[in-house]
A and B are shown apart, each in its own frame.
Chain A
Amino acid sequence: MSAAVPVTVRSTTRGSRAVGMLRATGPAGIASAIVIAVATFVALFGPLLAPYPPDLPNLSLAWVGPTGGHLLGFDFQGRDVLSRLLAGAQTAMLGPLAVVIVSVTAGTLIAVTAAWRRGATDAVISSGLDILFAFPGILFAVLAAAVFGAGLAAASIALSIAYMPYVARVLRGAALKERSQPYVAALEVQGASATSICLRHLVPNIAPLIVAQATILFGYAMVDLAAISFLGLGVQPPNPNWGVMISENQSGILQGYPLPALAAGVCIVTVVIAVNVLGERLFDQAQAGRI
């Protein structure tokens, strides 16, 4: 009955939305994303990129400063620092990634369940979350190391468990708000199942917040895991890992050879800054999108 009117439709594929989100974080956000991308690349291909074998000790070269092809000199066992940094990126980045994936997935599941069911279920879950807050991440990881032995796996699992209540808390608030939106009621009336509403509508709508939270969490996980490795309860030497490198080479600082430990420290701080900056901006965006 009405004449056809030409309508322009904006592309809303997932890819373009992601790019849009990224662009909206401004130059600082984009710079951070680049840093993270580089770090990820190194994490994936580190051992291949290393110019020298990271595991080859040569005590006669211990503590020697930057010379020739060795841009960052040698560590306390005469191994090339740059190579160890590149190789160490793997555990330094992949550990936190695993922690984030597990805790965010579990946290989202719990948050959405609590938000969906509301009432008694929500009350119980919320109280449970409140109680679980008693354990700081590092403490839990140390406990796990004492029980199961030191190692990246134990530490990562412990951190995931410790972080999960925090993620669930934050996401529960957003999920509750989303749950009470009119479109959800409309879908329910149409007979859509709870699972399909949650998976196809609720979760995608709080996705920006989930991504922002995950990014920020990655920073925390990185710091905590590096600390645990520094304490000797995480990644074990001689595996290269930025946290381990700092603890191994700490004596060098007192002896006048600060470079290996400092270099590892700089790597950690750089990635964490990038993650924090990007995470904060994504978070602001996610909040602004709600208003």
Chain B
Amino acid sequence: MLVASLLVASFVIFAALYLAPGNPLAALSGGRSLPPASIAVLEQRYHLNEPFLAQYWYWLDNALHGNLGISITLRENVSTLIASRIWTTAGLVLYAALIILVLGIGIGLVSGLRPGVLDTGTLVTTAVSAAIPAFVAAIVLILLFAVKLGWFPALGNGTDLLSNIRHFTLPAVALATASLAIVARVTRASVREEGDREHVQTAVSRGIPPRNVIQRHILRNAAIPITTITGITIASLIAVAAVVEVAFSLNGLGAYLVQSAQSKDLAVVQGISLVLVTAFVLVNLLVDVMYAVLDPRVALGSRAQ
């Protein structure tokens, strides 16, 4: 499944070259006119005179060995260009994931286990937050915390670890906002649902103390849907990170992807897409594995959702 997904995805990414209007050469050069020497180089490198599937094979083979081609605009190896930016994106996604895990699940748990005023407040807040796209959250955060309060810088990467954390805080929060709300809601709903289940009643009727009931029966069972939704949400961060990077002028893969798309630097677009899709598929695989670990009824690879 994993391999099949990646193969198909890589094929689509590769085939994009051919879907572009005009011939592949025009697409690769981004519509610029090139001297014959450059054209010859391109033809050789991309094996443009060979059958389609052979070209795909060459491209894939190269990609697996770390050679993702050359950027037309910057005339550097795509792999180098990616490597210099990947940590920005990875750091951003991890930071946001941390926020989602701690705050999202935390709020959901508190809200689910204690009905009352806090719970209703949480429901309303999460309903609103879930509807705030990352870029809207970005501008609000910039306005409030960078411009008005001056607590965090508005734009750009930091220089060392500490300043990076400062620079990445607002972007991570913006990225996490909507997802956090969704995770909190699902956590709350799962905890509630599990609490109402009959096997919890059985445990109570056997005199099991409440703390054990909550830990071993409610939370343990609710962990299944919670892990699934958290995993899926974090996977989606990989794509949305691009928007946040652009909003905060961060020098990450996503922002670079958008730039390249605008300048039609196809090799870069393909390279970054491949990296992002691979990351996405890997995270989903991790979710599948966790699901199988948590639920003994399920065999690997058959996630119901």
- Residue positions of A touching B, CB distance < 8 A: 127, 130-139, 142-143, 145-148, 150, 219, 223, 226-227, 230-233, 243, 246-247, 250, 253-254, 256, 258, 261-262, 265, 268-269, 272-273, 276-277
Smallest Cβ distance from B136 to chain A, in angstroms?
A: 4
Are B27 and A147 interface neighbours, CB within 8 A? yes
Are A273 and B13 interface neighbours, CB within 8 A? no
Are B260 and A146 interface neighbours, CB within 8 A? yes
Q: Does B240 contact A (CB under 8 A)?
A: yes
User: In whole angstroms, how far apart are the Cα atoms of A136 and B139 in the complex?
Assistant: 24
Q: Does B247 contact A (CB under 8 A)?
A: yes
> Which residue from B131, B134, B261, B284 sits with its C-beta under 8 Å from A219?
B131
Q: Provide the residues of chain A in CB contact with B284, threshold 8 Å.
A: 133-134
> Which residue from B130, B136, B239, B257 sits with its C-beta under 8 Å from A137?
B239
Are B261 and A136 interface neighbours, CB within 8 A? no
- Quick one: given A231-B246, A277-B127, are A145 and B9 in contact (CB under 8 Å)? no
17 A-B residue pairs with CB within 8 Å: A133-B5, A134-B284, A135-B12, A135-B277, A139-B277, A139-B280, A143-B13, A143-B261, A145-B261, A146-B266, A219-B131, A230-B135, A231-B243, A232-B258, A254-B154, A269-B131, A276-B127
Name A136's closest neighbour in chain B (CB-CB): B239
Smallest Cβ distance from B11 to chain A, in angstroms?
A: 11
> Which residue from B4, B130, B142 sits with its C-beta under 8 Å from A131?
B4
Q: Does B85 contact A (CB under 8 A)?
A: no
Smallest Cβ distance from A247 to chain B, in angstroms?
A: 8
Are B5 and A134 interface neighbours, CB within 8 A? yes
Q: Does B20 contact A (CB under 8 A)?
A: yes
Q: Does B54 contact A (CB under 8 A)?
A: no
Q: Which of B46-86 contact A (CB under 8 A)?
A: none
Chain B interface size, under 10 / 10 to 19 / 20 to 34 / 35 or more = 35 or more
Are B258 and A131 interface neighbours, CB within 8 A? no
- Quick one: given A230-B246, A273-B131, are A143 and B20 in contact (CB under 8 Å)? no
Smallest Cβ distance from B225 to chain A, in angstroms?
A: 15
Q: Provide the residues of chain A in CB contact with B243, threshold 8 Å.
A: 138, 227, 230-231
Are A231 and B242 interface neighbours, CB within 8 A? yes
Smallest Cβ distance from A42 to chain B, in angstroms?
A: 18
Are B273 and A139 interface neighbours, CB within 8 A? yes
Q: Provide the residues of chain B in CB contact with A219, threshold 8 Å.
A: 131
Are B131 and A146 interface neighbours, CB within 8 A? no
Q: Does B276 contact A (CB under 8 A)?
A: yes
Q: Which of B131-182 contact A (CB under 8 A)?
A: 131-136, 139-140, 142-143, 146-147, 154, 178
User: In whole angstroms, how far apart are the Cα atoms of A268 and B266 in the complex?
Assistant: 32
Smallest Cβ distance from B37 to chain A, in angstroms?
A: 26
> Which residue from A143, A230, A261, A277 sits with its C-beta under 8 Å from B16?
A143
Q: Provide the residues of chain A in CB contact with B266, threshold 8 Å.
A: 146-147
Query: Among the interface residues B1, B19, B136, which one has the most CB atoms of the partner chain A within 10 A?
Result: B136
User: In whole angstroms, how far apart are the Cα atoms of A130 and B260 in the complex?
Assistant: 29
Q: Does B21 contact A (CB under 8 A)?
A: yes
Q: Provide the residues of chain A in CB contact with B146, threshold 8 Å.
A: 254
Query: Among the interface residues A145, A246, A265, A277, which one has the most CB atoms of the partner chain B within 10 A?
Result: A265
> Which residue from A137, A138, A261 sits with its C-beta under 8 Å from B139?
A261
Other than A139-B280, A147-B16, give 17 A-B pairs with Cβ distance below 8 A.
Answer: A127-B4, A134-B9, A134-B280, A135-B277, A138-B240, A147-B266, A148-B19, A150-B261, A150-B262, A227-B243, A230-B135, A247-B135, A253-B147, A254-B147, A268-B136, A272-B131, A277-B127
User: In whole angstroms, how far apart are the Cα atoms of A256 and B277 in the complex?
Assistant: 39
User: In whole angstroms, how far apart are the Cα atoms of A150 and B132 in the complex?
Assistant: 24
Are A250 and B247 interface neighbours, CB within 8 A? yes
Are A142 and B277 interface neighbours, CB within 8 A? no
Smallest Cβ distance from A145 to chain B, in angstroms?
A: 5
Are A135 and B258 interface neighbours, CB within 8 A? no
